[in-house]
Amino acid sequence: MYPRLAIEAAAQSDVGRRRRHNEDSFAALPCLGLFMVADSLGGNAAGEVASRMAIEVVKSCFEEEANLEDTWPYGAASPHDRDEVRLVLSVRRANRAIYEASQQQPERRGMATTFAGVLLGPGMAYIAHVGGSRVYRMRGGNLERLTRDHSLLEELLRDGDGALAALEALSDRASAVTRALGCDESVAIASRVEATEPGDVFLLCSDGLWGPVTEGQIAGVLQAHQELSLAASLLVDLANEHGGPDNVTCVLARLGGG
């Protein structure tokens, strides 16, 4: 195990202005270097169950490392490879657990959730995500998005020619998620590894934040307020001031120096 890193963290979640229930789930676990956000798919049965399962399953995999030891030849992998694979396998396990639960219980049939997770290790950040929850990094006053949504909009934009015309025709569905945990027995999980620097701030959030609030506004809050709990609260307030169209959740983690 790595020595514990110096990580400050804060998290805030709110039902928003137009929803009756908060179906987002999250975890901020500095002791594990693990930070997560899951956002249930609107309209799907038992969405709040799916988002909660995603967080709990991934968390349990890290709390009980032995659960994953038999599924990867760790002895032949570097510590960095181990951490990336551990995160991806944990998310894969969450997907399978959600899918199996949905198949076994009719009232939960079709439940699904997005997921975004960051694992912080010495000098590295390991990122895994599925769906439309995002991960950002604030460094030197610049906010950078580290994930690309699995949505109809992103797919159309990647297609290039003809994408804008298609997008106009499907504008009411452009934000539809094309990939999520629990929809199928297996899912393609996007992952990446980023070198970290002291002072880096990682923001994980559901679309209830990045939808109504611009990236410029998010960056302004993070730049103006060093206290993470205050910044998280202000970001949620800002989403609600912009109409609060959805549940809003944000998790912040800052790496200490040295």
CA 204 to chain centre: 5
Q: Identify the CATH number of the domain in which residue 62 sits.
A: 3.60.40.10
> Rounded distance, CA 155 to CA 11, Å?
30
pLDDT band at 74 (very low <50, low <70, confident <90, very high): very low
Largest Cα–Cα separation, the chain = 53
Task: Classify residue 77: in a domain, yes or no.
Answer: yes
Name the residue with higher pLDDT: 247 or 106: 247
- Higher confidence at residue 77 or residue 20? 20
pLDDT tens digit sequence for 140-167: 999 999 999 988 777 766 665 555 555 5
Which of 94, 93, 111, 115 lies closest to 102, judged by CA?
111
The two three-digit tokens of residue 139, written as one number:
């460094």
Say what the pTM is. Answer: 0.88
For residues 173 and 42, is the Cβ–Cβ distance under 8 A? no
Residue 1 falls inside a structural domain: no
pLDDT given for residue 64 in this prediction: 83
Q: Which domain holds residue 43?
A: 7-255
Comparing 126-135, 159-168, 190-199, the range with the smallest average pLDDT is 159-168
Angle, helices 215-224 vs 228-241, to 10°: value is: 150
What H or E segment, with its residue span, contains residue 10?
A: strand 7-14
Average pLDDT over residues 32-51: 86
Report the phi/psi class of residue 164: left, alpha or beta, with left for phi > 0 and alpha for psi in -120 to 50: alpha
DSSP 3: P
- Kindly state whether residue 2 falls inside one of the protein's structural domains: no
How many distinct structural domains can be found in the chain? Answer: 1
* Percent of the chain residues past pLDDT 70, beyond the cut: 82
Q: In the predicted model, what is the mean pLDDT of residues 98-118?
A: 92
